[in-house]
A = this chain, B = another copy of it.
Amino acid sequence: MICLVALAFAAIFARQVLRAETGSVKMAEVAAAIREGAEAFLKRQYSTIAVLAIVVAILLFAAYMISGSSTTAWQTAVAFLLGAFLSSISGIIGMWISVRANLRSAAAATKNAGKAVVLALRGGAVSGLTIVSLSLLGVSLIFYAFGADPVTTPFLIVGFAFGASFIALFAQLGGGIYTKAADVGADLVGKIEAGIPEDDPRNPAVIADLVGDNVGDCAGRGADLFESTAAENIGAMILGVALFSVFGMNGILFPLVMGAFGLIATIVGIFFVTEKLADQEDPMKALYRGFFVTAILSAVFLYVATTWLLNNNIWFFYAGLVGIALSIVFVYLTLYYTDHKYRPVKSIAEASKTGPGTNIISGFAVGLETTAVSAVAIGVALIVSFKLGEFSGVTNGGLYGTAVATVGMLSTCAYILAMDTFGPIVDNAGGIVEMSGESEETQKRISRLDAAGNTTKALTKGYAVGSAALAAFLLFSAYMGEVSNLTHKPFVSVNLALVPVFVGALLGAMLVFLFASLAIRAVGETAQYIIQDVRRQFKDKGILEGTVKPDYASCVDITTKGALKNMILPGFIAIAVPVFVGFALKYEAMAGFLMVATITGVLMALVLNNSGGAWDNAKKYIESGALGGKGSEAHKAAVVGDTVGDPFKDTAGPSLHVLIKLLATLTLVLAPLFI
């Protein structure tokens, strides 16, 4: 129900955005090129993924049949396909609106910044609400379709989460490779070789770069958080099964209800970001206000939901508050480490004075350092929510405490997603404004929004990592529960002191490193294609003189092909290694693999995301005039750092979030084969 209401609101926001003015003809032309490029990429990407998904569905079906679980075989395969389908749909809707909102936001920015902020955020909200509602709807639908038996059905729908993970992996990998390859390619030839500014219309790769912002940040992160919601719901439902004797159906439905409440909180939060306020103040301040409204409302709803569904047990309410608090902590941590106002970014900028070498060293040191407080925060949240769950007096309440914390953290998910999609929309709007040669004033106005967009993108990544860490713990328990069910004996210990479990853990950590390596390398390889194409086009002198229009479509096409080709190897490794380890070392080693891969993946994602964000903002800080400003030696060094950070923060880091959840859902689905 609430999901449908939320979808209705999404539609209303979409209409508002679409009705807004579309600005000059030139703007519309640029936007049309971006839209076409993005749609062409999505079309080709999803047809590739669809084929892969059907193959996997058949393999899944076959594997279940062989392992003798013929009754659940079709259910798992169907759930998988539905998860994959809904994830794709929500990705497509999100893209559809964002490649339209960019133009409207750009047009609005010619007049005032407030309207641009509101339009971009509402465009983002369309994504956020759609993604979260479809995820909830999908889980609920399939839960009722498969019989709604409280004890067995949750296990049947794990396929749904795996389907969502599967799409997310390729959407994030393909999108992440696309966006950074286009960026690096455009910059290397355009800025460095030809000496023209960023987003210059003479650069043939510039449209591909703007398309990349959408397919990476928007479609990629959307799929990422679609699956976070799906995985969290299913994990929490499976834990609810264990507490069936205490809460009945309510324990299983609780996560779904809180998800729906979160949607309402988000809608209200969005309305608190008004044109008037956003125009007068720093755009970040307006966005934060909306976030806090959402968080506070979520806390209120949490109280309602625990009172109503969880026997009025106040301890679970406290556990949920821990989750909401953790989401706030992660937002501020990311801010501290990636904003130029604080020590870390300043120290990188300072280090740029002695060249690119020291810039890189100090940025990498900052990235490594970010893991410290983050890991402590996650650890404290886990322990405290577990203890609170134990205080509830319910048997096995501890684990359910961590589940409620995860539910609490993810209740603000739709708002965070709206802020995230705000990023590529204003980034694109900036590109459109620059390419259509708008006034200096408009450019200034939009570049302030662009900076805010960079911050929101960084915050979302921090949030995504934190929620992945919490959700993962749920999924471990779900996996162990499933293995117990299948083996008919309790599986409660993952003993790292056993050689196979230790080796599994070692290989799990290794997979994270290897996957990051392959993702980073894929960007480099794809960028080579673009570099060659741009160089080829620049041979026509007319392009650089501005008399001949460059062939944007050729760059878009080449990037699309390159990204799709290069996402295959890391994608394959991400699936093949756990399957191999599971078969070879069996289920307990697999649990060790999963847990240590999660730990390492969370920390490595933090390193990559935050070092990348810090390098980016150190560069921006210098460009704003500090330490010699644009063109100084320090600036040149900072540009190198930014280039290094790009594939870290926009390809490898976000792909790791997805990898973590993929591993969890993959092991859940394949558990029958690892026994």
Please measure, in the bound complex, the distance between the C-alpha atom of A214 and the C-alpha atom of B85, giving whole angstroms. 62
Residue from the list B367, B499, B596, B640 in contact with A386, Cβ < 8 A: B499
Please name all residues of chain B whose beta carbon is closer than 8 Å to the beta carbon of A192 when the two chains form the complex: 355
Known interface pairs A354-B188, A477-B497, A600-B600; A517-B375 also in contact (CB < 8 Å): no
Q: A383-B500, A502-B599, A513-B603 are in contact. List 6 more A-B contacts (CB 8 A).
A: A376-B510, A494-B495, A496-B595, A496-B596, A502-B595, A640-B640
Residues of B within 8 A of A358 (CB): 184, 188, 524, 643
Are B497 and A591 in contact (CB-based, < 8 A)? yes
Most buried by B among A355, A477, A503: A503
Which residues of A577-600 have CB atoms within 8 Å of chain B's CB atoms? 591-592, 595-596, 599-600
Residue in chain B with minimal CB distance to A351: B524
Per-position binary interface string of chain A over residues 355-397, scored 1 when its CB falls under 8 Å from any chain B CB and 0 otherwise: 1111011101111110110011011001100100000000000
28 residue pairs of the A-B complex, CB under 8 angstroms, read A184-B358, A188-B358, A354-B531, A355-B640, A358-B524, A360-B644, A361-B524, A361-B647, A364-B520, A364-B644, A365-B521, A368-B513, A371-B510, A371-B514, A372-B517, A375-B509, A376-B510, A378-B503, A379-B507, A476-B497, A492-B495, A496-B505, A496-B592, A502-B595, A502-B599, A509-B596, A596-B596, A600-B600
Given that A379-B503, A383-B499, A499-B383 are contacting pairs, would A368 and B494 also be in contact in the complex, using a CB cutoff of 8 Å? no
Chain B residues within 8 Å of A398, by CB: 499
- Chain B nearest CB, measured from A589 CB (Å): 10
* Contacts A355-B192, A476-B497; A507 near B376 (Cβ below 8 A): yes
The answer on a CB contact under 8 Å between B595 and A505 is yes
> Does A516 have its Cβ within 8 Å of any Cβ on chain B?
yes
A378 to B509, CA, bound (A): 13
A361 proximity list for chain B (CB < 8 A): 520, 523-524, 643-644, 647
- Rounded to whole angstroms, the CA-CA distance of A592 and B505 in the bound complex is 11
Q: Does A506 contact B (CB under 8 A)?
A: yes
Complex CA gap A595/B498 in Å reads: 11
Chain B residues, CB < 8 A from A335:
none
A591 neighbours in B (Cβ, 8 Å): 496-497
Q: Which residues of B contact A357 (CB under 8 A)?
A: 184, 356, 639-640, 643-644
Distance, CA A402 to CA B596, complexed state (A): 22
Question: Min CB distance, A349 to chain B, in Å?
Answer: 14
Copies of the protein in its oligomer:
2
Q: Which residues of B contact A596 (CB under 8 A)?
A: 496, 505, 509, 596, 599
| Segment 584-620 of A: residues with Cβ below 8 Å from B | 591-592, 595-596, 599-600, 602-603, 607
Other-chain contact of A503, B383, B493, B644 (Cβ < 8 Å)? B383
Residues of the B chain whose Cβ atoms lie less than 8 Å from the Cβ of A513: 368-369, 371-372, 603, 607
**Which residue from chain B places its CB closest to the CB of A520 in the assembled complex?**
B365
Q: Which of A469-520 contact B (CB under 8 A)?
A: 473, 476-477, 480, 492-497, 499-500, 502-503, 505-507, 509-510, 513-514, 516-518, 520
Contacts of A502 in B (CB 8 A): 382, 473, 595, 599
A354 neighbours in B (Cβ, 8 Å): 188, 531
CA distance A592 to B513 in the complex (A): 20
C-alpha gap A356/B602 in the complex (Å): 28
Q: Which of B372, B477, B499, B516 contacts A368 (CB 8 A)?
A: B516
Interchain residue pairs A-B with the least CB separation, the first 4: A357-B643, A368-B517, A375-B510, A379-B503
| A contact face: mostly helix, strand, loop, or mixed | helix
Q: How far is the CB of A519 from chain B (nearest CB, A)?
A: 9
Closest to A531 in B: B354
Give A466 Cβ to nearest chain B Cβ, in Å.
12
Most B CB within 10 A of own CB, among A382, A402, A496, A603: A496
* A524 B188 Cβ-Cβ under 8 A: no
Which residues of A304-351 are within 8 A (CB) of B? 351
Q: Report the separation of the CA atoms of residues A365 and B364 in the bound assembly, to the nearest whole angstrom.
A: 14
Chain B positions within 8 Å of A375 at CB level: 506-507, 509-510
Q: Cβ of A376: which chain B residues have Cβ within 8 Å of it?
A: 507, 510
Please measure, in the bound complex, the distance between the C-alpha atom of A516 and the C-alpha atom of B640, giving whole angstroms: 22
CA distance A254 to B365 in the complex (A): 43
Rounded to whole Å, the gap between the CB of A649 and the closest CB of chain B is 12
Q: Bound complex: CA of A577 vs CA of B192, how far in Å?
A: 46
Query: Residues of B contacting A600 with CB < 8 Å?
Result: 509, 599-600, 603
In the bound complex, how far is the Cα of B184 from the Cα of A518, in angstroms?
A: 30
Interface string of A628-640 (1 = CB under 8 A from B): 0000000000011
Chain B residues lying within 8 Å of A476, measured Cβ to Cβ, are 497
Identity of the chain B residue whose Cβ is nearest the Cβ of A494 in the assembled complex? B496
| Contact in complex: B497, A492 (CB < 8 Å) | yes
Q: Give the nearest-CB partner of A509 in chain B.
A: B599
- CB-based nearest B residue for A577: B372
Taking the nearest CB of chain B, how far is it from the CB of A474, in angstroms? 12
Instruction: Write out the residue numbers on chain B whose beta carbons fall within 8 Å of the beta carbon of A639.
Output: 357
A579 to chain B, nearest CB (A): 16
